[in-house]
Structure 1
Amino acid sequence: MGWQENAIWWHVYPLGFCGAPIRDVDATPAPRIRRLLGWLDYAVELGASGLLLGPVSASRTHGYDVVDPFRIDPRLGDERDLDDLVVACRARGLRLVLDGVFSHVDAGHPDLLRTLGDGAADRDAGIFDIDWDAPGGPAPRVFEGHASLARLDHADPRTADHAVRVMTHWLDRGVDGWRLDAAYSIDPAFWARVLPRVRATHPDAWFLGEVIHGDYSAFVDSSGVDSVTQYELWKAIWSSLRDGNLFELDWALRRHNGFLQRFTPNTFVGNHDVTRIATTLGPDGAVTALAILMTVGGIPSIYAGDEQAFTGIKEHRLGGDDAIRPSFPDTPAGLAPWGRRVHRAHQDLIGLRRRHPWLATATTQTLSLAGTRYAYRAQAAHGGPFLDVAIDLDRAPAVTIADAAGEVLWPRS
């Protein structure tokens, strides 16, 4: 296995983490991304091997309404600040993956406005998905009903050229890969045209597609991405623990085994788009969810703050992401003490994962199953080493992890 499959990501939403104003029209430029420099040792001590960053490109508000993908958002700093982050990550052995938005742009993107003004003959018209016969005049087709987000035309070769240029630009500056935002919303054939061209100059780069639903394996096969976001398992972990229905988790792990035969999914129990796991399950439940995450196959990511039992509810309204994308202190010294127990559990369970790297591609076998009790074996391929995991929800969420000799590895005595 290469570095990609052995990665354990600390997932950070930079605009929120660094305290950048999200909806202020006249936001003051500042090198806020440098706040991350004070957290890199914390990431290493947590056990992470890399940073999975949210969007850092120049945008209008939340980062996914990009106006210039070749420029760092002024609210975060400039290219020199990102270069310094790359260097600091390298010095600690941390990889760095950026969040690429290639499905849409901000509806006020200057090139789009010029295209709409100049008409179909404009040289950039092919990049944007425009309805030239719309009532009232030409109008961009929007992303999933969001009037502020204008779709790109992924059937036009110029859009593929654009994506290749953007990805290569930042890979040349030292980043290690890309999370492809809303990859599910784009024909996989687009990625199949783009990614081989990027890999030609950066063969070691890693590409993670955001895929919420659908046929994960078919998407990987047809698009050429290395991995996709395993939302099926995410949902099964939290809802099976919350509802005391471990049959759901068993079903999801059986499905997960099938995915692992084709690719290594990105696994998680929290990210920048969902309610915090500690809100859903409480601190004990969040640790149980983490124990599952760390003992099944996949490339796990920990959403920054989950390791401190941060809480927050995702709401479907303007500002509904604010609670799950908070500002962090300048350094870890500013963290509240009440998260220490959950943080220690994260260090221990991530450490267990790193001492058993074969878990990245391990499949699971059911040992016993009842509504509130479940035991499975996570085993390396071809009858290799294994760990036995037992979950008990009868009184409070609890999990025990033992090795082949029966020695209990978790919880620590």
Structure 2
Amino acid sequence: MTNEPGWVRHAIWWHAYPLGFVGAYPATVAGTPPTPDEHRLLRMVGWFDHVIATGASGIALGPVFASESHGYDTIDHLQIDPRLGTDDDFDELVAQAHRRGLRVLLDGVFNHVGRSSQIARRSVEAAQGRSQDEVWLRRAEGGGPTDFVGFEGHDALVTLDHEHPSVVDYVARVMNHWLDRGADGWRLDAAYAVPTTFWAQVLPRVRAEHPDAWIVAEVIHGDYAGFVTASGVDSLTQYELWKAIWSSIEDANLWELAWSLTRHDEFLETFVPLTFVGNHDVTRIASTITDPRHLAHALVVLFTVGGTPSVYAGDELGYTGVKEERAGGDDAIRPEFGDPGSAPDERGARILRLHQDLIGLRRRHPWLHRARTTQVELTNTRFVYESVDGDEGTDHAIAVALNLGDDGFAVPAGEVLLASGGAGAGEVEPHGWTIVAR
């Protein structure tokens, strides 16, 4: 089991994409990008009380460092993006978050950089001259001296040479720099594309200075446990469970979810994954699950199985948005947020209340962080499972009943903690759900 910081046991993240959140990308006025003196990053602080009201305990930020466009084409890892504001604005955001008891997670893009970055420019100059040691980018096999490897077909991005000792030094320095300024951890973007040997060199240097930092890697598929063990990260993104949650509910095939939870339990023997039903890269859960009666089922699973849960900003208010595979295809899922004081409509208020109830249950039962699941009853449209404390010598347990069908069935034995039909209901109502203490 990874030796993650103790505070993570209680962590529930509210994940936001800052450039979109504050209207800095795409630019709201064509040709007039925001300037540092607008201090747009501080707009996020106005939402922190809302985050507290949901029950979340941390802010997981998307890219905030200087970049060419969308944030994942970094040009300076040691400067806050001028479209967001200044380094002082970052310090104020962290101070305001910590004052409220909120942790802050940063998004580090260390697989590649933008072509206009100082690293890229210096590498081009070095490759054309004699200072080959200053080339920090990976060359394409069989290419010329400045034919550098792009990232997944994106020509504007060039891949770092992760075997270069100076790149190891640089990334460790960047991570420690922002942890020194108050960040509590890092999400490692596209970590799956980086050799695990690189992370195994970088992370001990980070932990030597910041042993309480939490490091989570973006990994889509593959040998999750093997990646964690070889790289030294604390956690990674549980995309397998994300896919199983929405597709098993949308297709009324709960066998898929049951199988994924079996896999999920295996991962929990090695590490606690970052779990989610939405993030800045995928269609919003309220658009993915087309039957509004079943949106709650996805959230029930998220908050009743092992993991470190994350809520994508706006999902708790019922935001919709479809990701499209085209230029600008992420814009709909990364919108600008307005005044945090405006009340949600009736639907949004109902979804917010559901999040609050489920997060409240999760906060009252922190043992769910490492819980294992056991199947009790399973059909295409009916799934009852138990979540049991993963620590030996304890007897914490809950039972969760999900019903996607038109017929109700008896509530599992135990005290009803939460239910779609109300705590006094004797059955799991059609298209409903129930959580009971065991």
Cα separation, partners in 2 of 1:166 and 1:252, compared to 1, 3 Å: same
Cα distance in 2 for residues equivalent to 1:338 and 1:369? 30
Match of 2:372 in 1: 363
Cα separation, partners in 2 of 1:50 and 1:244, compared to 1, 3 Å: same
Cα separation, partners in 2 of 1:180 and 1:399, compared to 1, 3 Å: farther
Residue 227 of structure 1 pairs with residue 238 of structure 2? no
Contact 1:400 1:408 in 2 (8 A): no
Residue 73 of structure 1 pairs with residue 81 of structure 2? yes
Matched AA of 1:19: G
Q: Give how far 1:400 is off.
A: 10
- Find the partner of 1:394 among 398, 405, 412: 405
Match of 1:58 in 2: 66
Residue 373 of structure 1 pairs with residue 377 of structure 2? no
The Cα offsets for residues 11-49 of structure 1, whole Å up to 9 and x where unpaired, read as 000011111133666523131111111100100110000
Cα distance in 2 for residues equivalent to 1:242 and 1:93? 36
Contact 1:288 1:399 in 2 (8 A): no
Match of 1:47 in 2: 55
Moved more, 277-286 or 144-153: 277-286
Q: How many equivalent pairs are there? A: 410
Cα distance in 2 for residues equivalent to 1:287 and 1:227? 26
Q: TM-score under structure 2 normalisation?
A: 0.89
Aligned residue runs from structure 1 range 304-319, under 5 A: 304-319=313-328
Residue 294 of structure 1 pairs with residue 298 of structure 2? no
Q: Give how far 1:285 is off.
A: 2.1
Matched AA of 1:310: Y
Residue 27 of structure 1 pairs with residue 33 of structure 2? yes
- Find the partner of 2:117 among 85, 109, 114: 109
- Find the partner of 1:10 among 8, 11, 14: 14
Cα distance in 2 for residues equivalent to 1:53 and 1:214? 25
Q: Give how far 1:124 is off.
A: 6.2
Q: Give how far 1:132 is off.
A: 8.5
The Cα offsets for residues 105-142 of structure 1, whole Å up to 9 and x where unpaired, read as 0022233123213426337634211349525x622110
Match of 1:204 in 2: 212
Matched AA of 1:11: H
Residue 217 of structure 1 pairs with residue 228 of structure 2? no
Residue 152 of structure 1 pairs with residue 160 of structure 2? yes
Cα distance in 1 for residues equivalent to 2:154 and 2:81? 21
Cα distance in 1 for residues equivalent to 2:414 and 2:123? 67
The Cα offsets for residues 156-191 of structure 1, whole Å up to 9 and x where unpaired, read as 111110101100110000000000000000111100
Match of 2:433 in 1: none
Cα separation, partners in 2 of 1:62 and 1:371, compared to 1, 3 Å: same
Cα distance in 2 for residues equivalent to 1:400 and 1:210? 40
Cα distance in 2 for residues equivalent to 1:335 and 1:260? 37
Give % identity. 51
Match of 1:171 in 2: 179
Cα distance in 2 for residues equivalent to 1:410 and 1:61? 44
Match of 1:268 in 2: 276
Cα distance in 2 for residues equivalent to 1:169 and 1:399? 55
The Cα offsets for residues 26-83 of structure 1, whole Å up to 9 and x where unpaired, read as 5231311111111001001100000010000000110000000100001100011110
Matched AA of 1:222: A
Unaligned runs of 5+ in 2: 424-438
Secondary structure of 2:66 counterpart: strand
Cα separation, partners in 2 of 1:25 and 1:163, compared to 1, 3 Å: farther
Secondary structure of 2:310 counterpart: strand
Contact 1:389 1:399 in 2 (8 A): no
User: Which runs of structure 1 show a deviation greater than 4 angstroms over 4 or more consecutive aligned residues?
Assistant: 23-26, 334-337, 398-402
Cα separation, partners in 2 of 1:213 and 1:332, compared to 1, 3 Å: farther
Match of 2:432 in 1: none
